[in-house]
Amino acid sequence: MKTNRRMTNNRTVTVARRPTVFVAGTFLLAGLCYYGQANTNPTEPPQKDAFTVFGCVTDAQGNPMHGVEVRVHSGMGTLMNTGHTTTDDKGNYRVMFGPRQLMPVSDAEPLGVGFQAATVRAKRPGYFIQDLGRAGGLAMTDQTNAVPKWATNFVAIVRPFAPYRLDFVLRPAAPVKGELLDPGGTLPTIRILNLKGKTLPPSQNVLDWTNLVAGGSFTFSGVPVGFEWWFEVEWREGEVWKSARAKPFSFRSPTEHRVALTLTAQGTLEMTESSQNGAPK
Mean per-residue pLDDT for 58-82?
94
Contact 198, 152 (CB under 8 A): no
Q: Provide the residue ranges of all domains of the chain, joining segments of one domain with +.
A: 16-169, 173-273
Q: Which CATH architecture is the domain 16-169 placed in?
A: Sandwich (2.60)
DSSP H or E stretch at residue 62: none
Q: Which CATH architecture is the domain 173-273 placed in?
A: Sandwich (2.60)
- Decide whether 16-169 matches 173-273 in CATH topology: yes
DSSP 8: E
pLDDT top residue among 202 and 102: 202
Nearest to residue 210, comparing CAs of 223, 198, 227, 224?
A: 223
Percent helix, strand, coil in the chain (nearest 5)? 0, 45, 50
Encode pLDDT of 144-182 as tens digits: 777 777 778 899 999 999 999 999 999 999 999 999 998
Mean per-residue pLDDT for 56-75?
97
Dist. CA 181–CA 216, nearest whole Å = 7
1 pLDDT above the threshold of 50: no
pTM for this prediction: 0.77
